[in-house]
Structure 1
Amino acid sequence: MDSFLEPFRKSILIKVLLFLAMLFYNFVLNAQVDTNSALFKTLKSKDSILFERAFNNCEVEKLSPIIADNFEFYHDVRGIQNKTEFIDTIKKNLCTTPGNNTRQLVANSLEVHQLNNNGVIYGAIQKGKHTFQQKQKGVLKTVGIADFTHLWILENKIWKLKRVLSYNHQPYSE
Protein backbone atom coordinates (compact mmCIF):
# COMPACT_ATOMS: atom_id res chain seq x y z
CA MET A 1 0.00 0.00 0.00
CA ASP A 2 2.91 2.33 0.77
CA SER A 3 4.21 2.07 -2.78
CA PHE A 4 0.78 2.98 -4.18
CA LEU A 5 0.72 6.30 -2.25
CA GLU A 6 4.35 7.22 -2.94
CA PRO A 7 3.73 9.15 -6.22
CA PHE A 8 1.00 11.23 -4.48
CA ARG A 9 3.33 12.22 -1.62
CA LYS A 10 5.96 13.59 -3.95
CA SER A 11 3.70 15.27 -6.53
CA ILE A 12 3.45 19.01 -6.09
CA LEU A 13 0.77 19.17 -8.78
CA ILE A 14 -1.51 16.82 -6.85
CA LYS A 15 -0.95 18.82 -3.65
CA VAL A 16 -1.79 22.06 -5.45
CA LEU A 17 -4.91 20.54 -7.00
CA LEU A 18 -6.01 19.17 -3.63
CA PHE A 19 -5.45 22.59 -2.03
CA LEU A 20 -7.47 24.34 -4.77
CA ALA A 21 -10.28 21.80 -4.43
CA MET A 22 -10.43 22.39 -0.65
CA LEU A 23 -10.34 26.17 -1.17
CA PHE A 24 -13.20 26.00 -3.69
CA TYR A 25 -15.20 23.72 -1.39
CA ASN A 26 -14.73 26.16 1.51
CA PHE A 27 -15.72 29.10 -0.69
CA VAL A 28 -18.91 27.40 -1.86
CA LEU A 29 -19.91 26.46 1.69
CA ASN A 30 -19.23 29.91 3.16
CA ALA A 31 -20.40 32.14 0.34
CA GLN A 32 -22.86 34.83 1.19
CA VAL A 33 -26.36 34.62 -0.21
CA ASP A 34 -27.15 36.49 -3.41
CA THR A 35 -28.12 40.13 -2.89
CA ASN A 36 -31.28 39.49 -4.94
CA SER A 37 -32.40 36.56 -2.77
CA ALA A 38 -35.47 36.76 -0.56
CA LEU A 39 -33.31 36.17 2.54
CA PHE A 40 -30.96 39.06 1.74
CA LYS A 41 -33.87 41.41 0.99
CA THR A 42 -35.74 40.37 4.13
CA LEU A 43 -32.77 40.98 6.42
CA LYS A 44 -31.91 44.23 4.67
CA SER A 45 -35.46 45.40 5.42
CA LYS A 46 -34.97 44.36 9.06
CA ASP A 47 -31.77 46.42 9.12
CA SER A 48 -33.83 49.34 7.86
CA ILE A 49 -36.37 48.90 10.65
CA LEU A 50 -33.61 48.69 13.22
CA PHE A 51 -31.72 51.74 12.08
CA GLU A 52 -33.75 53.92 9.73
CA ARG A 53 -37.01 53.62 11.65
CA ALA A 54 -35.81 53.20 15.27
CA PHE A 55 -32.31 54.68 15.43
CA ASN A 56 -32.72 57.56 12.95
CA ASN A 57 -36.43 58.38 13.36
CA CYS A 58 -37.03 57.29 16.97
CA GLU A 59 -39.84 54.90 16.09
CA VAL A 60 -38.68 52.76 19.01
CA GLU A 61 -41.94 50.79 19.08
CA LYS A 62 -40.72 49.07 15.86
CA LEU A 63 -37.89 47.36 17.78
CA SER A 64 -39.65 45.01 20.18
CA PRO A 65 -41.32 42.85 17.50
CA ILE A 66 -38.01 42.13 15.72
CA ILE A 67 -35.79 41.59 18.76
CA ALA A 68 -35.61 38.22 20.54
CA ASP A 69 -36.48 38.17 24.23
CA ASN A 70 -33.00 36.80 25.05
CA PHE A 71 -31.30 39.47 22.89
CA GLU A 72 -27.69 40.39 23.66
CA PHE A 73 -25.86 43.47 22.35
CA TYR A 74 -22.07 43.60 22.58
CA HIS A 75 -20.50 47.02 21.98
CA ASP A 76 -16.77 47.64 22.03
CA VAL A 77 -17.23 51.03 23.73
CA ARG A 78 -20.45 50.78 25.79
CA GLY A 79 -20.36 47.15 26.92
CA ILE A 80 -23.15 44.57 27.02
CA GLN A 81 -26.91 45.22 26.96
CA ASN A 82 -30.02 43.07 27.00
CA LYS A 83 -33.21 43.85 25.09
CA THR A 84 -34.66 46.25 27.68
CA GLU A 85 -31.36 48.10 28.18
CA PHE A 86 -30.83 48.38 24.42
CA ILE A 87 -34.27 49.88 23.77
CA ASP A 88 -34.01 52.18 26.81
CA THR A 89 -30.60 53.45 25.63
CA ILE A 90 -32.04 54.41 22.25
CA LYS A 91 -34.97 56.18 23.94
CA LYS A 92 -32.76 58.07 26.42
CA ASN A 93 -29.74 58.88 24.25
CA LEU A 94 -31.08 59.30 20.74
CA CYS A 95 -34.73 60.16 21.07
CA THR A 96 -34.29 63.04 23.49
CA THR A 97 -32.94 65.03 20.53
CA PRO A 98 -34.38 63.34 17.42
CA GLY A 99 -32.48 63.93 14.19
CA ASN A 100 -29.29 64.88 16.03
CA ASN A 101 -27.66 61.49 15.37
CA THR A 102 -28.14 59.15 12.44
CA ARG A 103 -26.69 55.91 11.13
CA GLN A 104 -26.14 55.05 7.49
CA LEU A 105 -25.31 51.67 6.03
CA VAL A 106 -22.11 51.82 3.95
CA ALA A 107 -23.04 51.04 0.34
CA ASN A 108 -22.25 47.49 -0.79
CA SER A 109 -20.93 46.45 2.64
CA LEU A 110 -23.91 44.31 3.68
CA GLU A 111 -23.44 40.53 3.59
CA VAL A 112 -25.83 37.76 4.60
CA HIS A 113 -24.73 34.19 5.35
CA GLN A 114 -27.45 31.56 5.72
CA LEU A 115 -27.37 29.12 8.65
CA ASN A 116 -28.82 25.64 8.12
CA ASN A 117 -29.51 22.61 10.26
CA ASN A 118 -29.66 19.48 8.08
CA GLY A 119 -30.66 21.57 5.07
CA VAL A 120 -33.30 23.62 6.90
CA ILE A 121 -32.65 27.32 7.40
CA TYR A 122 -32.79 28.36 11.05
CA GLY A 123 -30.89 31.63 11.01
CA ALA A 124 -28.51 33.98 9.27
CA ILE A 125 -25.49 36.10 9.97
CA GLN A 126 -25.68 39.64 8.64
CA LYS A 127 -22.61 41.84 8.65
CA GLY A 128 -21.51 45.14 7.26
CA LYS A 129 -20.21 48.60 7.97
CA HIS A 130 -22.07 51.71 8.99
CA THR A 131 -21.28 55.36 9.49
CA PHE A 132 -22.64 57.67 12.15
CA GLN A 133 -23.64 61.26 11.61
CA GLN A 134 -24.02 63.97 14.22
CA LYS A 135 -25.63 67.36 13.79
CA GLN A 136 -23.03 70.08 14.07
CA LYS A 137 -23.99 73.72 13.49
CA GLY A 138 -27.29 72.53 12.06
CA VAL A 139 -25.73 70.14 9.52
CA LEU A 140 -25.28 66.37 9.81
CA LYS A 141 -21.58 65.50 9.64
CA THR A 142 -20.20 61.95 9.43
CA VAL A 143 -18.18 61.47 12.60
CA GLY A 144 -17.62 57.72 12.91
CA ILE A 145 -17.55 54.34 11.22
CA ALA A 146 -17.89 50.83 12.66
CA ASP A 147 -18.47 47.19 11.80
CA PHE A 148 -21.48 45.17 12.86
CA THR A 149 -22.44 41.51 12.91
CA HIS A 150 -26.03 40.45 13.57
CA LEU A 151 -27.28 36.96 14.33
CA TRP A 152 -30.87 36.54 13.13
CA ILE A 153 -32.87 33.48 14.19
CA LEU A 154 -36.17 32.22 12.82
CA GLU A 155 -38.59 31.93 15.75
CA ASN A 156 -41.99 30.54 14.73
CA LYS A 157 -41.26 31.63 11.12
CA ILE A 158 -40.49 35.21 12.25
CA TRP A 159 -36.99 36.67 11.96
CA LYS A 160 -35.72 37.86 15.35
CA LEU A 161 -32.47 39.65 16.09
CA LYS A 162 -30.76 37.57 18.76
CA ARG A 163 -27.16 38.80 19.00
CA VAL A 164 -25.40 41.98 17.89
CA LEU A 165 -21.69 42.68 17.77
CA SER A 166 -20.90 46.36 17.23
CA TYR A 167 -17.15 46.87 17.02
CA ASN A 168 -14.17 48.61 15.47
CA HIS A 169 -15.63 52.06 16.14
CA GLN A 170 -13.31 54.63 14.60
CA PRO A 171 -13.43 58.34 13.86
CA TYR A 172 -14.50 58.86 10.26
CA SER A 173 -12.03 60.15 7.71
CA GLU A 174 -12.52 60.27 3.97
Structure 2
Amino acid sequence: MNNFLEPFKNSILIKVLIFIAMLFYNFVLNAQVDKSSDLFKTLKSKDSIIFKRTFNLCEVEKLEPIIADNFEFYHDLGGIQNREEFINSIKNGLCSKPGNNKRKLVTGTLEVHQLNKNGILYGAIQKGKHTFLQKQNSEFKTVGIADFTHVWILENEKWKLKRVLSYNHKPLSE
Protein backbone atom coordinates (compact mmCIF):
# COMPACT_ATOMS: atom_id res chain seq x y z
CA MET A 1 0.00 0.00 0.00
CA ASN A 2 2.89 2.38 0.72
CA ASN A 3 4.06 2.04 -2.89
CA PHE A 4 0.64 3.16 -4.13
CA LEU A 5 0.63 6.33 -2.01
CA GLU A 6 4.28 7.23 -2.58
CA PRO A 7 3.69 9.45 -5.68
CA PHE A 8 1.07 11.49 -3.77
CA LYS A 9 3.14 12.01 -0.60
CA ASN A 10 4.58 15.34 -1.69
CA SER A 11 1.64 16.48 -3.84
CA ILE A 12 0.42 19.95 -2.90
CA LEU A 13 -2.75 19.44 -4.95
CA ILE A 14 -3.72 16.35 -2.91
CA LYS A 15 -3.07 18.21 0.36
CA VAL A 16 -5.20 21.16 -0.79
CA LEU A 17 -8.02 18.84 -1.86
CA ILE A 18 -7.94 17.02 1.47
CA PHE A 19 -7.98 20.34 3.34
CA ILE A 20 -10.97 21.61 1.31
CA ALA A 21 -12.83 18.32 1.86
CA MET A 22 -12.23 18.50 5.63
CA LEU A 23 -13.29 22.14 5.76
CA PHE A 24 -16.48 21.40 3.83
CA TYR A 25 -17.22 18.36 6.02
CA ASN A 26 -16.74 20.42 9.18
CA PHE A 27 -18.99 23.21 7.85
CA VAL A 28 -21.78 20.78 6.98
CA LEU A 29 -21.66 19.12 10.40
CA ASN A 30 -21.59 22.34 12.44
CA ALA A 31 -23.68 24.72 10.38
CA GLN A 32 -26.53 26.43 12.13
CA VAL A 33 -29.61 27.30 10.14
CA ASP A 34 -29.82 30.72 8.54
CA LYS A 35 -31.36 33.35 10.81
CA SER A 36 -33.85 34.23 8.05
CA SER A 37 -35.05 30.61 7.68
CA ASP A 38 -38.54 29.52 8.66
CA LEU A 39 -37.09 27.10 11.23
CA PHE A 40 -35.07 29.83 12.96
CA LYS A 41 -38.03 32.21 13.00
CA THR A 42 -40.40 29.52 14.28
CA LEU A 43 -38.16 28.53 17.16
CA LYS A 44 -37.38 32.15 17.98
CA SER A 45 -41.14 32.70 18.32
CA LYS A 46 -41.33 29.64 20.62
CA ASP A 47 -38.51 31.17 22.70
CA SER A 48 -40.65 34.29 22.94
CA ILE A 49 -43.61 32.23 24.22
CA ILE A 50 -41.46 30.61 26.88
CA PHE A 51 -39.84 33.77 28.10
CA LYS A 52 -41.70 36.89 27.01
CA ARG A 53 -45.19 35.49 27.51
CA THR A 54 -44.54 33.03 30.36
CA PHE A 55 -41.46 34.23 32.26
CA ASN A 56 -42.00 37.98 31.82
CA LEU A 57 -45.80 38.25 31.68
CA CYS A 58 -46.72 35.11 33.68
CA GLU A 59 -49.12 33.83 31.02
CA VAL A 60 -48.40 30.24 32.06
CA GLU A 61 -51.26 28.88 29.96
CA LYS A 62 -49.20 29.79 26.85
CA LEU A 63 -46.44 27.43 27.99
CA GLU A 64 -48.36 24.22 28.52
CA PRO A 65 -49.20 23.46 24.84
CA ILE A 66 -45.57 23.64 23.71
CA ILE A 67 -44.05 21.46 26.45
CA ALA A 68 -43.64 17.74 25.63
CA ASP A 69 -45.26 15.21 27.95
CA ASN A 70 -41.84 13.67 28.72
CA PHE A 71 -40.17 17.08 29.19
CA GLU A 72 -37.00 17.33 31.31
CA PHE A 73 -35.41 20.50 32.68
CA TYR A 74 -31.81 20.50 33.93
CA HIS A 75 -30.67 23.53 35.91
CA ASP A 76 -27.12 23.93 37.21
CA LEU A 77 -28.39 25.51 40.44
CA GLY A 78 -31.90 24.10 40.86
CA GLY A 79 -31.61 20.47 39.80
CA ILE A 80 -33.89 18.41 37.57
CA GLN A 81 -37.61 18.93 36.94
CA ASN A 82 -40.19 17.09 34.88
CA ARG A 83 -43.05 18.80 33.02
CA GLU A 84 -45.39 19.12 35.99
CA GLU A 85 -42.67 20.31 38.37
CA PHE A 86 -41.41 22.85 35.83
CA ILE A 87 -44.84 24.37 35.16
CA ASN A 88 -45.70 24.42 38.88
CA SER A 89 -42.40 26.12 39.74
CA ILE A 90 -43.25 28.91 37.31
CA LYS A 91 -46.84 29.25 38.57
CA ASN A 92 -45.99 29.07 42.27
CA GLY A 93 -42.50 30.55 42.27
CA LEU A 94 -41.57 32.97 39.55
CA CYS A 95 -45.16 34.06 38.90
CA SER A 96 -46.25 34.22 42.54
CA LYS A 97 -45.34 37.92 42.23
CA PRO A 98 -45.98 38.78 38.56
CA GLY A 99 -44.06 41.69 37.09
CA ASN A 100 -41.00 41.36 39.32
CA ASN A 101 -38.79 39.34 36.96
CA LYS A 102 -37.77 39.57 33.31
CA ARG A 103 -35.61 37.60 30.98
CA LYS A 104 -33.89 39.12 27.96
CA LEU A 105 -32.26 37.21 25.14
CA VAL A 106 -28.71 38.48 24.55
CA THR A 107 -28.75 39.93 21.04
CA GLY A 108 -26.92 37.85 18.45
CA THR A 109 -26.48 34.73 20.61
CA LEU A 110 -29.45 32.66 19.45
CA GLU A 111 -28.50 29.67 17.27
CA VAL A 112 -30.60 26.88 15.79
CA HIS A 113 -29.20 23.57 14.53
CA GLN A 114 -31.61 21.25 12.80
CA LEU A 115 -31.81 17.54 13.53
CA ASN A 116 -32.55 15.20 10.61
CA LYS A 117 -33.05 11.49 10.22
CA ASN A 118 -32.62 10.16 6.69
CA GLY A 119 -32.90 13.71 5.39
CA ILE A 120 -36.17 14.44 7.22
CA LEU A 121 -36.38 17.17 9.86
CA TYR A 122 -37.48 15.75 13.23
CA GLY A 123 -36.10 18.28 15.69
CA ALA A 124 -33.73 21.12 16.43
CA ILE A 125 -31.27 22.33 19.01
CA GLN A 126 -31.65 25.96 20.03
CA LYS A 127 -29.06 27.68 22.17
CA GLY A 128 -28.08 31.11 23.35
CA LYS A 129 -27.44 33.40 26.28
CA HIS A 130 -29.93 35.37 28.33
CA THR A 131 -29.90 37.89 31.12
CA PHE A 132 -32.25 38.08 34.07
CA LEU A 133 -33.65 41.26 35.55
CA GLN A 134 -35.44 41.90 38.84
CA LYS A 135 -37.52 44.86 39.87
CA GLN A 136 -35.68 46.88 42.49
CA ASN A 137 -36.97 50.26 43.68
CA SER A 138 -39.59 50.32 40.90
CA GLU A 139 -37.12 49.70 38.06
CA PHE A 140 -35.58 46.60 36.53
CA LYS A 141 -31.91 45.83 37.22
CA THR A 142 -29.91 43.10 35.49
CA VAL A 143 -28.89 40.55 38.11
CA GLY A 144 -27.59 37.56 36.17
CA ILE A 145 -26.63 35.88 32.93
CA ALA A 146 -26.77 32.24 31.81
CA ASP A 147 -26.56 29.91 28.83
CA PHE A 148 -29.42 27.75 27.63
CA THR A 149 -29.82 24.82 25.26
CA HIS A 150 -33.25 23.60 24.17
CA VAL A 151 -34.07 20.41 22.29
CA TRP A 152 -37.23 20.80 20.22
CA ILE A 153 -39.00 17.81 18.69
CA LEU A 154 -41.56 17.87 15.90
CA GLU A 155 -44.57 15.87 17.14
CA ASN A 156 -47.59 15.60 14.84
CA GLU A 157 -46.32 18.64 12.91
CA LYS A 158 -46.11 20.73 16.12
CA TRP A 159 -42.94 21.85 17.86
CA LYS A 160 -42.63 20.57 21.43
CA LEU A 161 -39.92 21.48 23.91
CA LYS A 162 -38.48 18.18 25.10
CA ARG A 163 -35.25 18.99 26.96
CA VAL A 164 -33.82 22.16 28.51
CA LEU A 165 -30.34 22.77 29.84
CA SER A 166 -29.98 25.97 31.84
CA TYR A 167 -26.40 26.46 32.95
CA ASN A 168 -23.43 28.73 33.56
CA HIS A 169 -25.49 31.07 35.76
CA LYS A 170 -23.44 34.02 36.92
CA PRO A 171 -24.22 37.31 38.63
CA LEU A 172 -24.22 40.28 36.28
CA SER A 173 -25.05 43.92 36.63
CA GLU A 174 -25.28 46.36 33.75
Per the TM alignment, residue 134 of structure 1 is displaced from its structure 2 partner at its CA by 0.6
Residues 87-142 of structure 1: CA deviation (Å, up to 9, x unaligned): 01111111111111110111111100010000100000000000000111111000
In structure 2, stretches of 5+ residues that fail to align are none
Distance in 1 (CA, whole Å) between partners of 2:82 and 2:128 is 22
Per the TM alignment, residue 10 of structure 1 is displaced from its structure 2 partner at its CA by 4.6
* Pair 1:166 & 2:166 matched: yes
Say which SS state the counterpart of residue 27 (structure 2) adopts: helix
Show the counterpart of 2:44: 44
Distance in 1 (CA, whole Å) between partners of 2:130 and 2:117 is 30
Instruction: Give the counterpart letter for 1:65 in structure 2.
Output: P
Q: How does 1:144-159 map to 2 (within 5 A)?
A: 144-159=144-159
How many residues were matched structurally? Answer: 174
Give the alignment's TM-score, normalised by structure 2: 0.94
* Larger deviation, residues 3-12 vs 153-162: 3-12
* Pair 1:111 & 2:131 matched: no
Runs of 4+ in structure 1 off by over 6 angstroms are none
* Pair 1:138 & 2:138 matched: yes
In structure 1, stretches of 5+ residues that fail to align are none
Distance in 2 (CA, whole Å) between partners of 1:97 and 1:111 is 31
Say which SS state the counterpart of residue 142 (structure 2) adopts: strand
Distance in 2 (CA, whole Å) between partners of 1:41 and 1:148 is 18
